[in-house]
Structure 1
C-alpha cells in the first residue's frame, strides 16, 4: 500500500472566478476576425445578425445542459467524466484523445501564435517567425498554472476584464462613429445550406463555455456556482458578440465587412488612424492570451483524470503535493502544444478537428438523457429547463451544421474521422500498458 496520502483538488474558486473562466474560454480572437467570414457567407446584415443570434441561443442551450451535468458530477474532467460514466471508458478516451492530439493542444498552439502576431502589431513590429515566441508564451502560462488554480484564475480574471474593456470600447466607438447599420442592397432569399455553413464558424466562436466544467472539482459550492457562471457568462458573451457585429455593420456595412480581413482593426483605423489599429491589436493580444490560459487550465485537468484512469501516462494522474495542480499533465500538454507551434501544423489539424469537436460536444450533451433515465431519483440542484426539448434542439442544430460542413469540406471531415479512429488502437494499447 502506498504510504503517501492522496492529493485532491481544492475548491478555491467562487462565482466571479467561474464566470470569468466561462467568458475567457469563449472570447478569444474570433469576434475580432470571424464576422468578416460570416458576412461573406450571408446575404445581408439581418442574416448575419440572425446567424450570431442563433449561434448564441444554441451555445446558451449547451451551457444550460452543461450546468446540469456539472451539478450532477462536480469534479475535474468535465465531458470526459460524463462520457465515461454514461457510455464507457472507450468513448470517453476517444473524446479525450481528440482533445489531447488536436482540439485543446492545437487551439493552444494556434491562439498563442495569434497572440504573438497581435502583440507585435500593437508595438508596430512584424514577427516573421512567431513559433519561438508562441513557445515562450505557452511555457510562461504553464509556469503560472504550475502554482495552482488560484494563480491561474487570478491571471484569468485580469485578462478577462481587460478583454471585456477592449470589446466595450470597440462597441462604443463603432456605434457612435456609424450611428446605425449602413444600408445595403435588398437581401436575397435565405439559403439554408449557406446559412448552415455560416453557423459552423459562429458556433466555433461561441465554443469554450465547457472549460469551467473541466475544473468543477475546484469550484466552491458547485451546485449553485456552476449554473450561475454558465448562464451569466454566456448571456454576457452573446450580448458582446451581437453588439460588436452591430458596431461593425454601423461603420463598414455588410459589404464592407465581407471585404475586410480584419474588421476590428478597420473600424479602429477609421476612428483613430493607425494608432487606433495598434490599440485594438493590443486588445486582441490580451484576449488571445486569456484564451490560452483557460485552455491550458481546462485541458490539463482532463488529461490528469485520464492519467488517473490509466489511459494516459500514470504520472499525469498525480497532483502537485503543495499546489494541487496537475503539474505533469501541464508539462505534457505544453510540450505537445509547443511542438505544434514550432512545426506550424496546428492550422490544418484544427480544420480537421472542427467536425469532431462539435460531435464530441453533442455526445456530451447526449449523456444528459442517460443521467435523467438512469439516475432519475438522484437530486440535482439545477435541471435543464424545457427538457427534453432544449437538448434535442441542440443536437438537431449541431448535427445539421456538421452535415453541411461535411458536405462543403469532405476532405477535412474525412481526415478528422481518421484522427478520431486512430484513438481506438491507442486506447487498447494504453489499457494493455496500464495492466502491466
Structure 2
C-alpha cells in the first residue's frame, strides 16, 4: 500500500509540487532586502558573497543529510516523525510541539504582517490597517489550503514562478549591464561603522536559507516519495543557492558597495529601477508581496500535516487528526494553526520576535537530525534495509551540517541569550503535555 493511503492522504503530487514548496517556502523577501545588511555585516563585498556561498554549502549539506534520513524513515509527519523514530517519542513530541504550537503561528503571523505592511505602503494606506490586511492574507491562504491539496500545490507553483522572474532579471542585468563592480571594494570603503563579522554574516544567510525541510511534511501526498522527496530537497536547495548568490553578485555588479549599504532595504529596488524605471520598482513591490504569500502558503501546507501526524499518534487532540472526506486535507489542523496566527496578529506586535526565538530551537532539532543519520546507518546496517538515497561524501556532508547548525546555536546563545532561554522554556513547556498524552494513551 502507498504511504499516503495508509495515512488517509491522496498521493497525487509530483516533483514540481515538491520543488515549488521548497523554493517557495524559502525564498520570501530576504533575497530582496538582506543584501545591504549582509554586506555591511561581512565588511566587504567579497566577504558578503562568500557568506552567501558558505551559508548555501551548509544548507546543501543539511539538505543532503535530511534526504537520507527521510529515505530511512519513510513516514508521514516530516521532521516530527524523523526524530520520533530516531530518539523516541519525547524528542519527537518536543520537535512537533516547538514547530506546531510555538513556531508555526508566530511565523505565519510574522509573514502575513510583513506582506501587509508592504501592501499598505504600496497602496499608501493608513498603517493602522496593517494587522487587518495581515488577517485577510492569512484567511486567504488558509482558505486555499482547505480545498483540494492540488490547489495549494498549484498556488505554490504559480507564486514560485512569479518570484523567480525578478531574480533572473537581477542576475542578468548585473552580469551584462552592471558597471559598478563592487567586488573589489575594500572593507574601509564599504562602511566605517563596523569592522565586519564574517561569522554573523553567515548566520544571517542561514536564516534566509531556512524552511526547505518543510517539504518532508507532504511526503504522504507524493506519488513517488522515495524518488521525489530527496530530489525536491536537493534540486530545490541548489536552485535557492544559485538564486541567492546570483542576485548578490548581480547587485554587487550594478551598484557601488557604499551605495548598497546606504540604500539598505531599497538596494534591490534601485537596481530594478535602473533597469526599468519607476514602474519596475512598483512591479517588484507587487512581486515581493506575491512572493510572501507563496512563503505563507508553504508554511500553511506543511505545519498542519505535522499536527495531523502527531494527533494520529495520540499526542495531540484527536480532532487535529481528521481529514476531510472529499478532499482528504487536514482541515481542522489548518484552521487551528491559521486561527492561532490570526490571534497573534491581532493581539501582539511581537510575532517577529517570537518566530526569531523559535528558530533557535528549530536548529537544535536540525542538529539532532543530522546526528541521526549516523544512528540510522548503524541501526539499519545489518537489517537488509534498502535505501533509495544516501548522502554523498559521507561522513563529511553530515558533519558540515552539524558544524553549521552548532554555529547557529552557539551564536544565538552569545548574541541573544535571553531569547534563546525563553525559546527553550517554551519548548520544555511541552513536557507535561507529552506526559499527559502518554498516560492517556
The TM tier, using the shorter chain, reads: over 0.9
Q: C-alpha displacement at 1:83, in angstroms?
A: 0.5
Counterpart of 1:306 in structure 2 is 310
Query: Does residue 247 of the first structure (1) align with residue 250 of the second (2)?
Result: yes
Counterpart of 1:415 in structure 2 is 422
Query: Does residue 195 of the first structure (1) align with residue 202 of the second (2)?
Result: no
Counterpart of 2:395 in structure 1 is 388
Q: C-alpha displacement at 1:212, in angstroms?
A: 1.2
Picking from 207, 210, 213, the partner of 2:213 is 210
CA gap 1:263/1:357 in 2 versus in 1, 3 angstroms: farther
Cα distance between partner residues in 2 of 1:351 and 1:315:
29
Q: Is the 8 A contact 1:75 1:215 kept in 2?
A: no
Q: Is the 8 A contact 1:74 1:213 kept in 2?
A: no
Q: Is the 8 A contact 2:360 2:420 kept in 1?
A: yes
CA gap 1:153/1:375 in 2 versus in 1, 3 angstroms: same
Counterpart of 1:397 in structure 2 is 404
Picking from 281, 284, 287, the partner of 1:283 is 287
Query: Does residue 230 of the first structure (1) align with residue 237 of the second (2)?
Result: no
Q: C-alpha displacement at 1:403, in angstroms?
A: 0.9
Equivalent residue runs for 1:35-184 within 5 Å: 35-125=35-125, 127-179=127-179, 181-182=181-182
Cα distance between partner residues in 1 of 2:148 and 2:66:
24
Q: Is the 8 A contact 2:42 2:196 kept in 1?
A: no
Report Cα offsets for 1:281-339 as digits up to 9, x if no partner: 11111111000001110101001111112221111012112111011100111011111
Counterpart of 2:339 in structure 1 is 335
Q: Is the 8 A contact 1:163 1:287 kept in 2?
A: yes
Residue 299 of structure 1 aligns to a residue whose secondary structure is helix
Q: TM-score when scaled to structure 2? A: 0.91
Counterpart of 2:330 in structure 1 is 326
Cα distance between partner residues in 1 of 2:32 and 2:149:
28
Cα distance between partner residues in 2 of 1:296 and 1:218:
15
Cα distance between partner residues in 1 of 2:379 and 2:55:
31
Q: C-alpha displacement at 1:67, in angstroms?
A: 1.5
Cα root mean square deviation, aligned = 2.2
Q: Is the 8 A contact 2:160 2:294 kept in 1?
A: yes
Counterpart of 2:21 in structure 1 is 21
Cα distance between partner residues in 2 of 1:239 and 1:183:
18
Comparing 56-65 and 129-138, the one that deviates more: 129-138
CA gap 1:167/1:193 in 2 versus in 1, 3 angstroms: closer
Comparing 117-126 and 16-25, the one that deviates more: 117-126
Q: C-alpha displacement at 1:359, in angstroms?
A: 1.4
Report Cα offsets for 1:384-417 as digits up to 9, x if no partner: 1121211112101210232122112222222222
Q: Is the 8 A contact 1:77 1:214 kept in 2?
A: yes
CA gap 1:156/1:66 in 2 versus in 1, 3 angstroms: same
Q: C-alpha displacement at 1:117, in angstroms?
A: 2.3
Counterpart of 1:295 in structure 2 is 299
Q: C-alpha displacement at 1:76, in angstroms?
A: 2.2
Comparing 257-266 and 75-84, the one that deviates more: 257-266
Cα distance between partner residues in 2 of 1:154 and 1:318:
23
Q: C-alpha displacement at 1:112, in angstroms?
A: 1.1
Counterpart of 1:348 in structure 2 is 353
Q: TM-score when scaled to structure 1? A: 0.92
Q: C-alpha displacement at 1:16, in angstroms?
A: 1.5
Comparing 255-264 and 325-334, the one that deviates more: 255-264
Cα distance between partner residues in 1 of 2:198 and 2:419:
20
Q: C-alpha displacement at 1:153, in angstroms?
A: 0.2
Q: Is the 8 A contact 1:264 1:280 kept in 2?
A: no
In structure 1, stretches of 5+ residues that fail to align are none
Q: Is the 8 A contact 1:307 1:316 kept in 2?
A: yes
In structure 2, stretches of 5+ residues that fail to align are 189-193
Q: Is the 8 A contact 2:22 2:236 kept in 1?
A: yes
Q: Is the 8 A contact 1:10 1:218 kept in 2?
A: yes
Q: Is the 8 A contact 2:45 2:185 kept in 1?
A: no
Cα distance between partner residues in 1 of 2:140 and 2:46:
42
